Homo-oligomer: A and B are copies of this chain.
Amino acid sequence: MSETCFTPTPRSNIKRLPQRGEYDRATIYQILDEGLICYVSFVVDNQPYVIPTAYGRIEDTLYIHGSPASRMLRTLQKGVEVCVNVTLLDGLVLARSAFHHSMNYRSVVVFGTVITVQDPQEKLAALYAFTEHIIPGRWAEVRSPSPQEIAGTLVLSLPLVEASAKIRTGAPNDDEADYQLPVWAGEIPLQLVASTPIADSRLRSEIELPAYVQNYTSKNRV
């Protein structure tokens, strides 16, 4: 059973604007579960790299995957330190001064060392998590990975041990004198929204659009 809260470490502790810091595991997992892309940073010969990639979570483990031919994954499978970020942009914050403009966001950072998943059972579970993370209900309908496809996918796991979130919500924080200015101020909420699905041109004509595609929402999909 994992702890309710992550313990802040020197690198995961939110030092700047600490009131925006969150270490609660449920809050952090909700952000990870809502996000679709994570940003994985790593170091090669003292050079930083950051690469966006899909991911999945199973309990206290984050999984990423890709082709064994990928430079990122070839590097990561050596078991290097990573820093992974998932950020949900919730809105633009329009203040009365240029200086106090901001954004509302929920952002998670995870530190740790990635491990190559060797066990085919764990690999298959991770592949299931990737698909269901993106679009719940999909796995049961599609062709499952063949043994060759499983073997040809590099899956890496990152234990969720050292993580924190930074969250900003609500109205702008203007300087007291600026509240008198004749300037509109407030928030423009932003959301990742699905529009009408586009059927593949080779889709067999008798196949109907499934409800989980038609009603897809990125938010609260899990």
Residues of A that sit less than 8 Å from B by CB = 11, 15-16, 36-37, 39-43, 46-52, 54, 67, 69-71, 81-85, 87, 89, 92, 94-99, 101, 103, 105, 107, 109, 111, 127-128, 130-131, 134-135, 138-139, 141-146, 149, 153, 171-172, 178-204, 206-210, 213, 216, 218
Residue with the highest number of chain B CB atoms closer than 10 Å, among A11, A186, A196, A210: A186
Min CB gap A201→B, angstroms: 6
**Which residue from B36, B43, B143 sits with its C-beta under 8 Å from A181?**
B143
B213 touches A200 (CB 8 A): no
A98 touches B139 (CB 8 A): yes
Q: B residues within 8 A CB of A95? A: 142
Alpha-carbon distance between A213 and B92 when the two chains are bound, in angstroms: 10
A199 touches B184 (CB 8 A): yes
Alpha-carbon distance between A116 and B122 when the two chains are bound, in angstroms: 46
A-B contact pairs, 11 of them (CB 8 A): A50-B109, A51-B109, A97-B145, A98-B145, A143-B178, A143-B181, A172-B200, A184-B213, A186-B198, A186-B213, A189-B198
A194 touches B184 (CB 8 A): no
Residue of B nearest to A101 (CB): B131
**Which residue from B16, B144, B190 sits with its C-beta under 8 Å from A194?**
B190
